[in-house]
Structure formats: C-alpha cells, structure tokens
Amino acid sequence: MNAKMYRFALPLLLSVALVAASGGAHAQTVLRLAFGLGVDAHYGVGAVHMQKLVAERMGGRFKVELFPDFQLGGEREMVEGAQLGTIDMVITSTGPVGNFVPDTLITDIPFLFRDYNHARGVLDGPIGQAMLDKCAAKGLICLAWSENGFRHMTNSKREIKSPDDAKGLKIRTMENPVHMQAFRTLGVLPTPMAFPEVFNALQAGTVDGQENPIGVIVSAKLIQVQRHLSLTGHVYSPAVVLMSPATFNKMSSDDRKAIVQIAREGAGVTRKRVEQFERDGIEQLKAGGMQIRTLSTAEKLVFQNALSPAYADFAKRFGQANIDAIRNAK
C-alpha cells in the first residue's frame, strides 16, 4: 500500500476497529432461566428478582430471559437441559435432582424437618452446602437452596386423617424413589408423573390425588379437580437453583460469586412467597369450596409410626448418623 492509499485507508481502518471494540464492550450473554408454574408463583417471583439483580449488578454483561410454566419441558427435562448446556439456569424441586445427585434425596424423608426455621437452618448451613457441592461431580452447578414448602395431600375421594384413609388411593408423586417408597409403605399406590401432566390426569380420574405444597396447589388451580385437602405436612420440599456448568465455567470469578449471591437472594424472595401462600392460600382454597382437614400432632404421629419400615430402609441408604444430624439440628 503506497502512502496516498494508506492516508485514505487509515481512517476507515480506525473506524472499523472502534465499531468492533464498541460491539465487544456491549456484548451481552443471555441466560435462559427455566422453571415451572407462572411468574406470580413462588418460583416465579424469585426468578423475576434474580432477573432484576443480574441487570443491576452484573454490568450489562448478562441478561436473564425467563421461561416459566414448563415452557422448556418438565422438571427432569429442564435439569437434563442444564447438564447438556441447552438451558443456562433452572429452578426446580429436588424430586428430579435426586436422580442425578442421590445425596439430596435425604431431604425427602417424611417428617424429617420440624418446621420452616429448622429446614432453612439446615440447608443454609454446612449440611446443605455439602449437598450443593456434590452437584458439580454430576454435571450440575447448584447455586442455592430455594423452597417449595411443606407438602400436603389432596384427593377427589375422601378425607384423609389416617394411613387407613389413604390406603388404596392412586396418588401422583414426583419421580422420586424416597417419596414412592414412603407412600407404598402407607398402602398408597404411588404414580410418578411429570407435573405438567397432573391436572389432566386428575381431571380424567387417572389418579385420585396428588401431594404438593399450598403454593403449588393454589397456583396450579388444583381446586378445580380436587375436593379434599389434608394438611399432613408429611415432607418439607426444598428447591434448588441450578446452573449449567457450560455457562458457569465461562464466567469470571467475580461473576460467579455474583450469580451465587443473586441466586441466594432470589431464593429468599421465593421463601417469602411460600410463607404468603401458607397464610393466605388455605383460606383461598377453603373459600373456593375445598374440604380441608388439619391433622393434629397425634394424627401425624400415627403416620410416622406407620412409616417405620421405610425409616429402617432410609437409615441403611443414607446413614442413621446423617439423618440424626439433620433431625437434631437446632
């Protein structure tokens, strides 16, 4: 290139370089965040809060795009998507996670947690963090514990106040071996099914009932297909905020720390929404005509005694010392 050509070409080259630099500076990674139920449900409010915090704190480098209402598949499919890298982030119950990270299934033992403070204290402490840390070896990054709430039984047939009342009912459960074993021990016929299929199955009578926290029962409008609600509180159901390793590992150290903190804060918002459902949801269901039975402490004890054979198996599977460490945590 001679001097005259260079003189004319130089401004053009500089312009192209500036445009490229400008484009690089404003490049933005879109994080696809998937979850079940709607944006007003407990997962949804947590997800919206995370979306807001990412925009505020991560310098415009990332943008969260929400995919609620099982748009990207059932919970198992979403977890598999995170493993494969086709979904960046997922908020899910622990039901399907246990198929990938078996140690998390210990949280599904019936009547393991006394109340919300007990459950949250365990999961936010060393025991919970140790379980989250085990996800990495299974192709998942577990950022934080979120929440579903205590699970209760609904059905279209009869009031449930004892194991005898539940015996013989076809109850939809998560694809979770601990849940299924517990229900079989009670004489229930557990029917594992992806949640997006549940409403139609209840409506068609394929199953008699299901079990979920109040927030799910309200948000999924199960009052339309279920008459009886028994407040058994038989299992505390945590949730997990997951991230694809393919996405997480591309982040800088500072961005990783930021996304973990954002996930924890989003989980805190979810927990507050769960509390609101516990306060208001039962009255809403009652006003809608659902027959609600609150089990007494003595009635819950009858369920626990009936589960003794399952507890013996759980002790072999998870270790009695590990179960006791959770049960006795202050």
Q: Which of 256, 250, 272, 244 is nearest to 54 (CA)?
A: 256
* Structural domain includes residue 14: no
* Structural domain includes residue 329: no
* Residue 153 belongs to domain spanning: 28-324
CATH number, domain with residue 174? 3.40.190.170
Kindly give the confidence (pLDDT) of every residue in the chain, 330 residues in length, as a single tens digit, with 9 standing for 90 and above.
554 444 444 444 444 443 344 444 458 999 999 999 899 999 999 999 999 999 999 999 999 999 999 999 999 999 999 999 999 999 999 988 988 999 999 999 999 999 999 999 999 999 999 999 999 999 999 999 999 999 999 999 999 999 999 999 999 998 889 999 999 999 999 999 989 999 999 999 999 999 999 999 998 999 999 999 999 999 999 999 999 999 999 999 999 999 999 999 999 999 999 999 988 999 999 999 999 999 999 999 999 999 999 999 999 999 999 999 999 998
Owner of token pair 């004319």: 8
* Structural domain includes residue 21: no
* Structural domain includes residue 6: no
* Structural domain includes residue 83: yes
* Structural domain includes residue 155: yes
* Structural domain includes residue 148: yes
> Is there a contact between 326 and 105 (Cβ–Cβ < 8 Å)?
no
Phi, psi (deg, nearest 5) at residue 200: -65, -35
* Structural domain includes residue 20: no
Distances from the Cα of 309 to the Cα of 181, 233, 304, 314, 329, angstroms: 10, 20, 10, 9, 24
Per the structure, the count of domains in the chain is: 1
Beta-strand runs (E) in the chain: 29-35, 62-67, 89-93, 141-155, 170-173, 189-192, 209-212, 228-243, 291-294
